[in-house]
């Protein structure tokens, strides 16, 4: 089958495939949007067809070697030419993206059945797919930036779908991502001028010195912003409250992480020479570690499933950033592997939340309990993914985390400890989540009848289980993804094999010990409070931490909030200056003119005597002046 | 130049004189009907003669056309005679134009005093023509007195208290000016023995090495102060707003449009611009006077509540620009001043014509009482905007170009600060004019002015004619500049 | 020497009358003082040899104009009262002209002390031509002007006095 598609592609139509990846989802998106309301099933079919085609074409791409498309557009060598390129790096990410998009899309159809905005959502969804394909395929940094920025618009559109009256979360996302994109634009300008070409395939890694550092930081910040690492993370938990869950699953859960990681790795590896142990490397690792620990810490105390998951979406990026920052072969491989794994289990977890929400109407863990007996398959899928994300062997998360631990340890003990703390928090919070949601005494929100509560429909379960199954597959048979990933780096990773069981048994044991601590912690917490949902309350309300957590819950540490406060201060200052200038013009100036005018009118009162005095004084002035000047 | 063409210049003095004699010989009852049209005809002929003479001058490359009224001036050495040059003819053109407009407006506005008005206005024209034509400083003074005297009579035409008061103030200040001018002339005459232009010019070129330099200097300053009083340059301007405001509407037009300029600015341009271009003392003195006039005029205009008073203060401000242009001492500044002289005649006449239209239709010129007249008086309102914009120096109207030349010249001569102040003050010009325009013409129409009619045809004709000149000259100005450049004048 | 004395006296008269004109609260008194200035000026002209100027100044300024207008103003003074009253209130400026004019006197005194050399220059400009010839042959333009001034004086009298009693 694949061979068939590949031969079909390479026989003349091949070059066109590159932009077919962008055009087909876009065109079908328009069709989906324009489909009349009565033809819902046909619309859904069209939507699925688009995703299937996308997935099939992406598989077809996998068979291609390095292939480029070059359409001259504006300007010459440094200009904005529409350049696409497919090669092994983009191939793999596109395949993962298409696969996740297909499954989440299937779920979305079922989830959105009763929502009024379904057509718009599906339209945005397909456009997102097209833009993600475009970003990954673009061979010109400027063209990539175009797709990248367009994603921001779609993101905003999707965020305001559910709650059009309160756009604060959407605006927050727009501002944070906008800043990141602005930095990216700056970075792209610097990078292009340093490299002498906007074409990525033509670039050679630039040593990190002088302006290049600035360019590198800007590029990385742009990528971090897309991936949702600190300090660009804070919109995700806000968005989780209102945004449709398929959106959470596909955008912050999967696609944005893919894009962000893609650009991060390319920046560090292809555009610039990030040396292990350099200050830049340390900086990125610090960002990663902070994201990882703080995201995990915030996730730990959440009692609302969607928020908990979204903090984990932040925390897992921390792992990836940490790994990329090491600039070691094992780091890069671990980062990419974790990126793939994260896309799988995080989207699946969000889908589980969606399934629970569509059945019970809530995802607040304080209101639901013991769902396992009603929704067994959802429970199984969730637990599988939770095990993955917690890093339990033999799931994929275990293997990618082991690689990252390895890289972190090689760079510095601090980072390794940070990673372990993150792992502990992840495990603890998911123990809490699974325990609270699926076990224990049955507790349902009001209005939900026990008898009528069923497991999620097949269209929801299928994607969830498929993703969970893939998690297990990539864990057990991790050679499959790792061999592909390792191939990306060519000679850089030659000589070492990262697949199979981790090499260092010590590290494995330590990881397992951390997991054990998490379990013990959970048991203690459960024993103390008697409720799964309160299993980590002893950490939450520990002396000192409690204050910090309260402050964090009130968004005191939100970079957006701080940024906005600065912006408000700035705008207040600007306003004050503006008012001052206006005052000078409107009040001071007018008053001075009015005063002078009235004084002049006093001196022009109709008295001839006074006029004569004016005239005589004028003559005297002139005579004195001329005497002085002589 | 053919002799028959040089006869043209006689028309400037001959025609008004002939009309005066003719109309006063016959009975008043018969001639009243024809007097105004004849006056308009005389003005038209004067404009045509001036234009033809200007063309002739440039055709034959002559500096001036020299002639004498009654006798052959060449028989006697040092005799006074007439010798108009290019600037004179330009002034004569302005006089004809403003005279024409004045007659056009006076026709409907002054139905009861046409005869007296025409008599005195013709004398006024004669006086101004004489100022432009003469070649002797004392003759200049004599015609200045003629002009001033007829202006007094015109202001007091209705013998009302207001007019008499304005007229009397003008008279008092004129008396002082006469004293200044005569003292100055006497002190110069003391050293030269003659007051003919070429003699005085030759003397002034080297006055510091002549006898009695201190006295000459004081005499010159007295002379200039006298002219400044006549021109209404600050701080000698006191009489001007009162006189303008209290004069009957058509008289304000001719006063604001041309009289003060001919009586004062003309002489200043001649003496300072033409004869003393390099004198730093005089230039700095006039720079101060010009700046003071600009700022004081604009500031006072902002606080004024009467349409005509605003225009009067604006005249002070604009004359300040002319004086400032002259004070630069460069050919560019001279050309700018001369063109501002012309432009100011045109747009200030337009504004006074419009104020006359408003006054005739509403019987008031108080800004606060007026409002929303644009709907009822669209022609007047539109020409008013054009004149305002030209005064404020908005391109491409004529006022922009002359102000530009002046400011460039001032920048070169006195530096950026002075030019900046001048430029800044032109913002004030825009401010007070927009204020007036908004209060008088724009905005909602007041209840009491709902039935106001558009001005009479001849008034509208006058303002349309002047507006066309403002726009037209503005549009062809680049070519005028090119011509001037080709002539080597700038 | 004699000339110089006359000159200085004339100038002093001019100054004093100027001061009085500027200080006087009545317009008519101001006007009369200004006429006196004109007369002094005419004398000054005679002394320095500009006879025709003197004649003109005397006839036009101090004579015709002032007389006509003082008459006109005095005839209508009752009407002017209301408007001139306004000016009278501003007595706080009363000292301003005095100070200015004193300053002027100081300046002129300084100049006179520094270099007032009339005698030598007056000799140079002493005209030998008879007055008649000067007046009729050399000053034709001025004669024309004089004629017109008389004309306008007539008009002024006609306009300002003739219709008195009819209207207004």
Residues of A in contact with C96 (CB under 8 A): 610, 613
Q: How far is CA A311 from the centre of its chain?
A: 12
State whether B241 and A604 contact (CB < 8 Å).
yes
Report the neighbours of B using a cutoff of 3 or more CB pairs below 8 angstroms.
Answer: A, C
Q: Do A598 and B280 touch (CB under 8 A)?
A: no
A238: nearest Cα among A293, A321, A292, A176: A176
Q: What is the pLDDT of residue B351?
A: 92
- Record the pTM: 0.62
* Cβ-Cβ contacts under 8 Å, B193 against chain C: 124-125, 127
Is the pLDDT confidence value at C86 over 70? Answer: no
Binned at pLDDT 50, 70 and 90, residue C52 comes out as low
Whether B172 and A608 lie within 8 Å, measured CB to CB: yes
> In this structure, what DSSP letter does residue A369 have?
B
Q: Residue ranges per domain, chain C?
A: 2-83+91-127
Among candidates B82, B149, B214 on the partner chain, residue whose Cβ is nearest the Cβ of C114:
B214
Which of A598, A621, A626 minimises the CB distance to B303? Answer: A598
Report chain A's C-alpha Rg in angstroms: 30
In which band, very low, low, confident or very high, does the pLDDT at C123 lie, cut at 50, 70 and 90? very low
Q: Taking residues C53-70, report their average pLDDT.
A: 64
Return the number of CB contacts < 8 Å for A and B. 87
C87 alpha carbon, distance to own chain's centre? 23
Q: What is the pLDDT of residues A63-120, one digit of tens each?
A: 777 777 776 666 555 666 777 777 777 788 888 888 888 888 888 888 877 777 778 8
Q: Region A33-44: what's the mean pLDDT?
A: 79
pLDDT at B381 over 60: yes
Question: Chain centroid to CA A591: how far?
Answer: 55
Phi–psi pair at B209, nearest 5 degrees: -100, -5
The top-level CATH class assigned to C2-83+91-127 is mainly alpha
Which among A406, A252, A233 is positioned nearest to A335, based on CA atoms?
Answer: A406
Question: Which pLDDT does position C98 carry in this prediction?
Answer: 62
Chain B neighbors of A628, CB-CB under 8 A: none
Tokens of B443: 């905005």
- CA gap A313, A542 in Å, rounded: 25
Residues of B contacting chain A (CB within 8 angstroms): 165, 168-169, 172-173, 176, 180, 217-218, 221-222, 224-225, 228-229, 234-239, 241-242, 280-282, 284-285, 288-289, 296, 299-300, 302-304, 428
- Provide CB contacts within 8 A for A600, sequence distance 6+: B296, B299, B300, B303
H helices of A370-477, where? 376-390, 396-411, 413-438, 458-476
- How far is the C-alpha of A431 from the C-alpha of A436, rounded, in Å? 8
Q: Do B172 and A612 touch (CB under 8 A)?
A: yes
A623: closest chain C residue by CA: C107
| pLDDT per position as a tens digit, A118-168 | 788 888 888 888 888 888 888 888 888 888 888 888 888 888 877 777 777
| Partner residue facing A622 (CB), from B172, B225, B242 | B225
Is the Cβ–Cβ distance between B349 and B391 less than 8 Å?
A: no
pLDDT band at B203, cuts 50/70/90?
confident
**Cα(B333)–Cα(B330) distance, integer angstroms:** 5
Distance in Å, alpha carbon of B37 to nearest chain A alpha carbon: 37
By Cβ distance, the residue of B221, B236, B296 closest to A623 is B221
Please count the CA atoms within 13 angstroms of the CA of C7 that sit on its side-chain side: 19
- Taking only the tens place, the pLDDT of each residue in A164-183 is 777 777 888 888 888 888 88
User: DSSP secondary-structure letter at A67?
Assistant: E
> What does the angle CA A439 – CA A443 – CA A448 come to, to the nearest 5 degrees?
125
CB contact (8 A) between residue C22 and residue A623:
no
What confidence category does residue B312 fall into, taking pLDDT thresholds of 50, 70 and 90? very high
Q: What is the DSSP letter of C92?
A: G
Whether the pLDDT of residue B213 is over 70: the answer is yes
Q: What is A20-45 written as a DSSP string?
A: HHHHHHHHHHHHHHHS-GGGHHHHHH
For the cut 60, the answer to whether the pLDDT of residue C116 exceeds it is no
Instruction: Flag if B173 and A625 touch (Cβ within 8 Å).
Output: no
Could you give the CA distance from residue A409 to residue A417 in angstroms, rounded to a whole number? 8
b or e along A62-74 (b: 16 or more beta carbons within 10 Å of the residue's beta carbon)?
Answer: bebeebebeeeee
Closest CA in chain A for residue B300? A597
pLDDT of A191: 86
| Torsional class of A391: left (φ above 0), alpha (ψ -120 to 50), beta (otherwise) | left
pLDDT at residue B467, as a whole number: 92
- List, for residues B438-451, the tens digit of each pLDDT value: 888 887 887 777 77
Q: Mean pLDDT over residues C27-31, rounded?
A: 72
∠ CA A463-A467-A473, nearest 5°, is 140
Question: Mapped to the 3 state alphabet, what secondary structure does A490-542 carry?
Answer: HHHHCCCCCCCCCCCHHHHHHHHHHHHHHHHHHHHHHHHHCCHHHCCHHHHCC
**Contact between A80 and A234 (Cβ < 8 Å):** no
**pLDDT, tens digit, for every residue of A400-448?**
888 888 888 888 888 888 888 888 888 888 888 888 888 878 777 777 7
Contact A615 B296 (CB under 8 A): no
**List of chain A residues whose C-beta atoms are within 8 Å of the C-beta of residue B299:** 593, 596-597, 600
Across the interface, do A616 and C18 touch by the CB < 8 Å criterion? yes
Find residue A71's DSSP bridge partners: A82
Q: Which of A519-528, A553-562, B317-326, B475-484 has the highest mean pLDDT?
A: B317-326
Query: Which of A213-217, A550-554, C75-79 bottoms out in mean pLDDT, i.e. has the lowest?
Result: C75-79
Q: Which residues lie closer than 8 Å to C143 by C-beta, 6 or more apart?
A: C135, C136
pLDDT at A552 over 80: no
Model confidence at B349, pLDDT cuts 50, 70, 90, reads very high
Interstrand relation of A272-273 and A80-86 (parallel, antiparallel or unpaired): unpaired
Contact in structure between B152 and B163 (CB atoms under 8 Å): no
Interchain proximity C30–A616, CB inside 8 Å? no
- Residue entry with tokens 């699974």: A434
Structure tokens at B411: 């920048």
Query: What local confidence, expressed as pLDDT, does residue C120 receive?
Result: 45
Q: What percent of chain B has pLDDT over 70?
A: 94
Judged by CB atoms closer than 8 Å, whether chains meet at A617 and C24 is answered as no
CA nearest neighbour of A134 among A122, A124, A123, A149: A149
Q: Give tens-digit pLDDT for B105-161.
A: 998 888 888 888 888 899 999 999 999 988 888 888 888 888 988 898 888 888 787
And the tokens for A436?
Answer: 């609270």
Residue A289 has pLDDT above 70, yes or no: yes
Helices (H), B304-415: 307-327, 331-362, 378-392, 398-414
Q: What percent of chain A has pLDDT over 70?
A: 95
Q: Do A606 and C22 touch (CB under 8 A)?
A: no
Taking the mean position of all CA atoms in its chain, how far away is CA B479? 24
| CA dist B463 → A385, B353, B456 (Å) | 88, 6, 11
Give all strands (DSSP E) within C11-68, no chain letters. Answer: none
pLDDT: which is higher, B26 or A336: A336
C165 to chain A, closest Cα gap in Å: 28
Residue among C21, C83, C121 whose CB faces B165 most closely: C83
CB atoms within 10 A of CB C67: 14
DSSP SS3 for B490: coil
Mutate to test the interface with C, among A603, A604, A607, A614 (most CBs of C within 10 A): A607
- Interface chains of chain A (3 or more CB pairs under 8 Å): B, C
Mean pLDDT value across chain B:
85
Q: In whole angstroms, what is the distance from residue B229 CA to residue B240 CA? A: 9
Confidence of residue C166 (pLDDT cuts 50, 70, 90): very low
pLDDT at A296: 85
d(CA C124, CA B203): 15
How many other C-beta atoms are found inside a 10 Å radius of the C-beta of residue A214?
Answer: 13
The pLDDT tens digits for A458-468 are 788 888 888 88
Mean pLDDT of B266-289: 83
Over residues B44-78, the pLDDT tens digits come to: 999 998 998 888 888 887 777 777 655 555 556 66
Q: What is the ipTM of this complex?
A: 0.82
B14 closest CA partner among B55, B64, B68? B68
Q: How confident is the model at residue C100 (pLDDT cuts 50, 70, 90)?
A: low
**CA contacts within 13 A on the Cβ side of B477:** 24
CB contact at 8 A, B84 and B53:
yes
CB B388 within 8 A of CB B464: no
Mean residue pLDDT across chain A:
80
Six-digit token string for B52: 């033809």
The answer to whether A605 contacts chain B (CB < 8 Å) is no
Asked if A608 lies within 8 A of C93 by C-beta distance, the reply is no
Q: Do A612 and C103 touch (CB under 8 A)?
A: no
The HSE-up count of residue B140 (CA atoms within 13 Å, CB side) is 26
- Strand-pairing partners, residue A70, are A83
- Structural contact between residues A366 and A533, judged by C-beta atoms closer than 8 angstroms: yes
User: Which of B205, B210, B268 lies closest to C125, judged by CA?
Assistant: B210
- The helix (run of H) or strand (run of E) holding residue C140 is helix C140-157
No. of helices (H) and no. of strands (E), chain B? 20, 0
Alpha carbons B388 and C154: distance in angstroms, whole number: 39
Q: What angle, rounded to 10 degrees, do the helices at B398-414 and B378-392 form? A: 20
Residue A394 preceded by cis peptide, ω within 30: yes
Instruction: Give A447-451's long-range contacts (Cβ < 8 A, gap of 24+).
Output: A447/A361, A448/A359, A448/A360, A448/A361, A450/A374
Residue with tokens 């003469």: B134
Q: Given a cut of 60, is residue B241 above it in pLDDT? A: yes
Query: Are B211 and C149 a contacting pair at CB < 8 A?
Result: no
pLDDT tens digits, one per residue of A475-515: 888 777 777 777 777 777 666 777 777 777 788 888 888 88
Joined together, the tokens standing for residue C87 give 């000016």
Contact C79 B172 (CB under 8 A): no
Q: Which of A427-431, A538-542, A578-582 has the lowest mean pLDDT?
A: A538-542
Would you list the domain boundaries of chain A?
A: 1-176+235-252, 290-556, 561-629
Mutate to test the interface with A, among B169, B177, B214, B221 (most CBs of A within 10 A): B221
pLDDT attached to residue A78: 61
User: What b/e string do you get for C106-129 counting C-beta neighbours within 10 Å, with b at 16 or more?
Assistant: ebbeebeeeebebeebbeeeeeee
Nearest-angstrom CA–CA distance, B431 and B423 = 13
CA atoms lying within 13 Å on the CB side of residue A443: 17
Torsion angle of the four alpha carbons B218, B219, B224, B228, in this order, in degrees rounded to the nearest 10: 90
């Amino acid at each position: 089958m694949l061979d068939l598609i590949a031969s079909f592609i390479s026989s003349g139509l091949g070059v066109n495939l590159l932009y077919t990846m962008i055009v087909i989802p876009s065109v079908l998106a328009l069709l989906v949007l324009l489909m009349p309301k009565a033809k819902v099933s046909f619309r859904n079919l069209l939507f699925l067809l688009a995703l299937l085609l996308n997935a099939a074409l992406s598989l077809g791409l996998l068979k291609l070697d390095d292939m480029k498309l070059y359409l001259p557009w504006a300007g010459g060598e440094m200009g904005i030419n529409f350049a696409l390129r497919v090669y092994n790096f983009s191939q793999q990410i596109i395949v993962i993206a298409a696969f996740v998009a297909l499954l989440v899309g299937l779920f979305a159809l079922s989830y959105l059945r009763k929502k009024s905005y379904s057509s718009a959502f599906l339209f945005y969804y397909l456009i997102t797919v097209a833009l993600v394909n475009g970003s990954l395929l673009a061979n010109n940094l400027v063209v990539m930036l175009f797709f990248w920025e367009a994603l921001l618009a779609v993101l905003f559109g999707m965020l305001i779908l559910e709650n059009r009256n309160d756009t604060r979360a959407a605006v927050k996302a727009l501002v944070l991502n906008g800043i990141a994109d602005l930095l990216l634009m700056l970075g792209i300008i610097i990078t292009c001028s340093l490299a002498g070409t906007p074409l990525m395939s033509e670039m050679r890694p630039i040593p990190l010195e002088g302006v290049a550092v600035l360019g590198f930081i800007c590029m990385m910040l742009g990528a971090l912003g897309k991936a949702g690492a600190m300090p660009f993370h804070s919109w995700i938990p806000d968005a989780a409250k209102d945004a449709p869950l398929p959106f959470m699953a596909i955008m912050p859960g999967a696609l944005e992480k893919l894009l962000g990681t893609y650009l991060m790795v390319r920046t560090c590896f292809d555009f610039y020479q990030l040396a292990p142990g350099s200050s830049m490397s340390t900086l990125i690792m610090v960002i990663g570690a902070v994201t990882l620990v703080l995201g995990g810490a915030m996730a730990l105390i959440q009692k609302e499933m969607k928020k908990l998951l979204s903090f984990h979406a932040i925390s897992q990026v921390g792992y990836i950033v940490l790994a990329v920052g090491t600039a070691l072969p094992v780091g890069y491989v671990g980062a990419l592997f974790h990126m793939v794994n994260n896309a799988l289990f995080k989207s699946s977890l969000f889908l589980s939340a969606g399934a629970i929400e569509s059945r019970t109407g809530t995802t607040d863990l304080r209101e639901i309990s013991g769902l396992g007996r009603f929704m067994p398959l959802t429970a199984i899928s969730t637990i599988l993914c939770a095990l993955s994300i917690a890093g339990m062997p033999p799931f994929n998360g275990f293997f990618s985390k082991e690689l990252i631990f390895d890289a972190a340890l090689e760079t510095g003990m601090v980072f390794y400890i940070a990673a372990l703390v993150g792992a502990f928090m992840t495990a603890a919070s998911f123990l809490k989540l699974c325990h609270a949601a699926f076990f224990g005494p049955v507790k349902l929100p009001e209005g939900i009848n026990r008898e009528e509560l069923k497991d999620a429909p097949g269209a929801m379960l299928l994607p969830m289980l498929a993703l969970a199954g893939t998690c297990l597959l990539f864990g057990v048979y991790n050679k499959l993804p790792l061999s592909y990933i390792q191939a990306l780096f060519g000679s850089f990773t030659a000589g070492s094999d990262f697949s199979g069981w981790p090499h260092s048994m010590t590290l494995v044991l330590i990881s397992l010990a951390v997991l054990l601590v998490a379990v013990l912690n959970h048991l203690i917490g459960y024993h103390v409070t008697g409720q799964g949902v309160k299993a980590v309350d002893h950490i939450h309300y520990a002396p000192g931490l409690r204050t910090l957590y309260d402050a964090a819950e009130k968004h005191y540490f939100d970079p957006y909030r701080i940024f906005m406060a600065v912006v408000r201060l700035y705008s207040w200052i600007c306003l004050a200056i503006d008012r001052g200038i206006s005052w000078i013009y409107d009040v001071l100036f007018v008053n001075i003119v009015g005063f002078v005018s009235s004084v002049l009118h006093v001196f022009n009162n109709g008295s001839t005597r006074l006029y004569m005095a004016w005239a005589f004084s004028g003559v005297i002035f002139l005579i004195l002046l001329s005497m002085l000047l002589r | 130049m053919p002799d028959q063409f040089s006869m043209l210049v006689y028309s400037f003095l001959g025609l008004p004189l002939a009309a005066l004699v003719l109309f006063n010989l016959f009975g008043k009852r018969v001639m009243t009907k024809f007097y105004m049209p004849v006056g308009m005809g005389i003005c038209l002929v004067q404009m045509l003669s001036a234009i033809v003479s200007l063309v002739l001058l440039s055709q034959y490359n002559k500096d001036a056309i020299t002639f004498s009224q009654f006798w052959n001036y060449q028989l006697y050495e040092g005799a006074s005679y007439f010798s108009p040059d290019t600037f004179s003819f330009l002034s004569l053109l302005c006089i004809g134009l403003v005279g024409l407009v004045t007659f056009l407006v006076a026709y409907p506005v002054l139905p009861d005093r046409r005869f007296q008005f025409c008599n005195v206005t013709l004398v006024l024209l004669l006086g101004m023509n004489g100022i432009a034509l003469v070649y002797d400083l004392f003759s200049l003074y004599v015609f200045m007195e003629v002009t001033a005297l007829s202006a007094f009579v015109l202001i007091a035409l209705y013998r009302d208290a207001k007019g008499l008061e304005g007229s009397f103030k003008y008279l008092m200040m004129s008396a002082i000016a006469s004293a200044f001018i005569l003292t100055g002339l006497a002190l110069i005459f003391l050293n030269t023995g003659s007051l003919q232009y070429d003699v005085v010019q030759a003397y002034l070129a080297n006055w510091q090495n002549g006898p009695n330099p201190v006295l000459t200097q004081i005499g010159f300053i007295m002379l200039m102060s006298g002219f400044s009083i006549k021109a209404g340059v600050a701080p000698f301007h006191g009489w001007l707003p009162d006189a303008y405001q209290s004069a009957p509407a058509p008289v304000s037009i001719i006063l604001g449009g041309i009289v003060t300029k001919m009586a004062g600015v003309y002489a200043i341009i001649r003496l300072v611009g033409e004869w003393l271009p390099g004198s730093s003392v005089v230039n700095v003195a006039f720079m101060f006077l010009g700046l003071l006039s600009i700022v004081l005029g604009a500031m006072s205009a902002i606080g004024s509540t009467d349409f005509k008073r605003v225009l009067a203060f604006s005249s002070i401000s604009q004359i300040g620009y002319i004086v400032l242009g002259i004070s630069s001492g460069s050919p560019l500044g001279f050309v700018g001043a001369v063109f501002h002289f012309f432009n100011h005649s045109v747009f200030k006449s337009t504004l006074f014509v419009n104020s006359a239209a408003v006054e005739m239709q509403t019987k008031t010129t108080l800004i606060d009482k007026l409002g929303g007249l644009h709907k009822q008086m669209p022609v007047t309102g539109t020409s008013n905007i054009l004149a305002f914009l030209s005064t404020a120096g908005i391109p491409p109207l004529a006022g922009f170009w002359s102000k530009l030349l002046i400011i460039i010249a001032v920048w070169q001569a006195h530096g950026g600060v002075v030019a900046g102040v001048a430029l800044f003050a032109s913002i004030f010009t825009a401010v007070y004019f927009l204020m007036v325009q908004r209060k008088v013409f724009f905005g909602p129409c007041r209840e009491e002015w709902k039935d106001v009619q558009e001005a009479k045809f001849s008034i509208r004709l006058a303002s349309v004619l002047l507006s066309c000149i403002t726009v037209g000259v503005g549009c062809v100005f680049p070519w005028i500049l090119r011509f001037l450049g080709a002539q080597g004048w700038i | 020497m004699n000339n110089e004395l006359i000159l200085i006296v004339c100038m002093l008269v001019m100054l004093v009358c100027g001061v009085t004109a500027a200080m006087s609260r009545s317009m008519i008194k101001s006007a009369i003082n200004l006429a006196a200035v004109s007369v002094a000026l005419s004398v000054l002209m005679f002394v320095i040899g500009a006879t025709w100027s003197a004649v003109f100044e005397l006839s036009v300024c101090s004579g015709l104009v002032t007389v006509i207008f003082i008459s006109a103003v005095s005839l209508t003074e009752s009407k002017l009262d209301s408007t001139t009253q306004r000016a009278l209130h501003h007595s706080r400026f009363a000292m301003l002209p005095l100070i200015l004019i004193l300053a002027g006197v100081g300046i002129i005194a300084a100049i006179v002390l520094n270099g007032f050399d009339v005698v030598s220059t007056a000799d140079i400009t002493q005209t030998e031509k008879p007055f008649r010839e000067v007046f009729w042959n050399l000053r034709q333009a001025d004669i024309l002007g004089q004629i017109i001034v008389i004309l306008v004086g007539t008009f002024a009298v006609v306009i300002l006095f003739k219709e008195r009693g009819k209207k207004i």
